Structure 1
Amino acid sequence: MNTPVIAIIGAGPCGLTLARLFECKGIDYVVYERDESPESNRNGGSLDIHGDTGQLALRECGLFDKFMQRARYEDTVFAIADKAGERLLELGQGRDAPEIDRTDLRQILLDSIPEDKIKWGHALKSATPGNDKSPVLRFANDTEFSGFKLIVGADGAWSKVRPMVTRATPMYTGKSFIVSTIHHANPLYETIASKVKAGSSLSIGCGKYIMIQRQGDGSYRISFGLQAPEGFFRNGSVDLQDTEATRRVLLLQFYADWSDEYKDLVRYSTDFCAWPLYSLSPEDMGWESMQGVTLAGDAAHLAYPGGEGVNVAMTDSLKLASKIAEHGVNHIAQAVQEYEADMFSRAIDAITESKAMENVMYSENPQAFVDHICA
């Protein structure tokens, strides 16, 4: 069997956008994904896809019309409130950044790629230089592959490809999300639906926040943004499987002085999931280009999730595919160098802006956030 020219590690929106672009441009590739099948896709909430970045990539993929069938422009509205529930500002109506569930976006991309181009159940253990300097991929299922002209690490925050090009390691931000969902059957659902309606609501106070975001099926995803020690919700300090214990911790240690409408979000939430937040720094951008390897998306420039992540990642895919198509697969090194130079500049801006967003989202009151987004 002939070895594909390019191996993409990771079948998230970044890796799949790149795969679709290669498919359109006639560039040979294979995708390796740790999930056992498409059905094992992990839910990632709702994403806003921006006109000049994510949507541009989808247009180049020939998938914009399919995206528009799922895009939710009514959910661009964004309300900001304090911990007492008083609304300070509502904005975003008509903004060219419609929402789409991550699962829907992934499925649109998956449907556009031949099934045999994605190798499921391939969790990468390591990527190391081989005897001929060509990277060797070793997977948890005891398979091993090499001979690619390029390996693209689109494998997220804890990328196994990243160590081949940089020593940079994500650092804990001191912040975590605890995520839950209020479904239609939840006794609190009608109350939330009547208050939030479409879009999202962000309430900030005392160095923490609560985000309520409507999903494609009408449910509401609740994100409790907290400042907590690394591992606080994962190393046994709090057992998220114990719903009542988790509620007590949230109510007593984090949201004791918030209004009852927010405490009810804790009281009625179930299926808690922890998401500790890590980031690379602007200083991590700028490694020397490595033959046969590059990074894209969170693997390259992990940042606090401020709404730009998927758009920056899809732009990475668009830029990389365009450079390879321009230079040809026999001149991939030049294509990668030019891609990385552009990516570093965009990544520094994205990480810097995400840090500023992080600071105001965890401020003492929502006014700092209002001032930031209205500046």
Structure 2
Amino acid sequence: MAAAGIAIIGGGPCGLTLARLLECKGIDYIVYERDESENSNRAGGSLDIHAGTGQHALREAGLLDGFKKYARYDDTAVTIADKQGKRLLQMGQNRDAPEIDRKDLRQILLDAIPKDKIKWGHTLLNAKIGEDKRPMLEFTNGVVLSKFKLVVGADGAWSKVRPMITPAIPQYSGKIFLESKVGHENPLYETTVSRVGPGMFLATGVGKSIVTQRQGDGTYRNYFGIQVEENFFRNGVLKLDVEATRRLLLSDFYADWAEEYQDLIRHATDLRVWSLYTLSTEDMNWKSVPGLTLVGDAAHLTIPNGEGVNLAMTDALKLASKIAEHGIEDVNRAVQEYENDMFPRGIATIAEGRRMEKVMFDEDPQAFFQALSDAAAQ
């Protein structure tokens, strides 16, 4: 079956940013996305888009004005508190890193890409090098494609493209976030509005944290950060029965936290496990493989540190620029130069993620407060 010059595996912010940039440069591509349609509701929470990275990529893609229609500049503030509810620090006001809901950013990008350039319902099952020495892609829907000039893995933490390039495997950090929502109908909604307001509210204790963040529709998402073994929520100890989860959090993790935090647990709904994995800085050294490359989390998965989507969009911009510079016929040279430029960024963000993980879950919460105070002073 014939295929486009470039296959982008994954239609998240990174893959779609790359697609839009290639569209602007007149370079042939197709995006293969696992969601069944653009209306699939798998979009996540809120993202802060930084001026020099994510916003820069959107400007180069001709989409910055569209972004600003959705950007929430009043949600840049971050309030830090201890487990007893004492407010210790506020930072980030007027920072040029406005929030936008992931679904809104996705729609901005989708609207800027021709409909026939995205193949929905294509979950990559297997990827290998074919007899012609080019990547061969097998999807769960039975479609098999090859003869690409380049396959770009923009398929996230558990990339199916990555094993063709490097043996690197994400390692569990020992931490998870349990995500829940506070919708308009939630009995705790008005209290959350008055307590948190715009932006993000972050409380940390000994080895635990709670993050509350306002979304574009005025609702809130809570993230309960705890340290448990990797399969804690899969091996029968707990299968995310909501009531059982609430009881466990209240009795074993947040029993000595202030009532305002315990109320967040009592009214938690739509609980979802978000296990934190990371690649190693040593993984950022693979030898370039003809016809293949990685961007975003597929390349440099890290513990959340505020840079993830911004670095991913920067990857997209750098790769598209290199392909335009060298042309599709010399795409392997473009990839090699892109990867040599990307490795230091990947190393830096993985190291920063590890540092943020350490202070956020430190036995001495003051380490986290001090780290954020230092950041606010810069």
Task: Tell me which interval the TM-score lies in, with the shorter structure as reference length.
Answer: over 0.9
1:186, 1:330 → 2: CA distance?
56
1:365, 1:36 → 2: CA distance?
46
* Counterpart amino acid of residue 275 in structure 2: P
What is the CA deviation profile of residues 162-196 of structure 1, one whole-angstrom value per residue up to 9, with x for unaligned ones?
Answer: 00000000000000010000001111000110011
* Counterpart amino acid of residue 278 in structure 1: Y
Aligned-residue identity in percent: 64
Name the residue aligned to 2:47. Answer: 47
1:354, 1:277 → 2: CA distance?
10
Q: Matches of residues 1-375 of structure 1 in structure 2 within 5 Å?
A: 2-240=2-240, 242-375=241-374
1:20, 1:369 → 2: CA distance?
38
2:372, 2:179 → 1: CA distance?
24
Whether the 8 Å contact between 2:48 and 2:306 is mirrored in structure 1 is yes
1:89, 1:5 → 2: CA distance?
51
2:6, 2:208 → 1: CA distance?
43
Deviation at 1:367, TM superposition (A): 2.0
Whether the 8 Å contact between 2:67 and 2:108 is mirrored in structure 1 is yes
Whether the 8 Å contact between 1:204 and 1:364 is mirrored in structure 2 is no
Whether the 8 Å contact between 1:234 and 1:274 is mirrored in structure 2 is no
SS of equivalent to 2:39: helix
Whether the 8 Å contact between 1:78 and 1:90 is mirrored in structure 2 is yes
Whether the 8 Å contact between 1:231 and 1:276 is mirrored in structure 2 is no
* Counterpart amino acid of residue 327 in structure 1: H
Whether the 8 Å contact between 1:10 and 1:33 is mirrored in structure 2 is yes
Runs of 4+ in structure 1 displaced over 3 angstroms? Answer: none
SS of equivalent to 1:174: strand
SS of equivalent to 1:317: helix
Whether the 8 Å contact between 2:129 and 2:135 is mirrored in structure 1 is yes
Whether the 8 Å contact between 2:89 and 2:373 is mirrored in structure 1 is no
What are the ranges of 5 or more consecutive residues in structure 1 without an aligned counterpart?
none
What TM-score results when the alignment is normalised by the length of structure 1?
0.98
* Counterpart amino acid of residue 39 in structure 2: E
Deviation at 1:285, TM superposition (A): 0.4
Deviation at 1:234, TM superposition (A): 2.8
Whether the 8 Å contact between 2:4 and 2:148 is mirrored in structure 1 is yes
Deviation at 1:104, TM superposition (A): 0.6
SS of equivalent to 2:95: coil
What TM-score results when the alignment is normalised by the length of structure 2?
0.98
1:257, 1:349 → 2: CA distance?
36
What is the CA deviation profile of residues 66-88 of structure 1, one whole-angstrom value per residue up to 9, with x for unaligned ones?
Answer: 00000000000000000000010
Whether the 8 Å contact between 2:183 and 2:219 is mirrored in structure 1 is yes
Whether the 8 Å contact between 1:4 and 1:28 is mirrored in structure 2 is yes
Deviation at 1:3, TM superposition (A): 2.4
2:336, 2:345 → 1: CA distance?
15
SS of equivalent to 1:169: coil
* Counterpart amino acid of residue 253 in structure 2: F
Whether the 8 Å contact between 2:7 and 2:29 is mirrored in structure 1 is yes
2:6, 2:155 → 1: CA distance?
15
1:75, 1:96 → 2: CA distance?
11
What are the ranges of 5 or more consecutive residues in structure 2 without an aligned counterpart?
none
Deviation at 1:365, TM superposition (A): 4.5
* Counterpart amino acid of residue 186 in structure 2: N
Whether the 8 Å contact between 1:204 and 1:365 is mirrored in structure 2 is no
2:41, 2:244 → 1: CA distance?
28
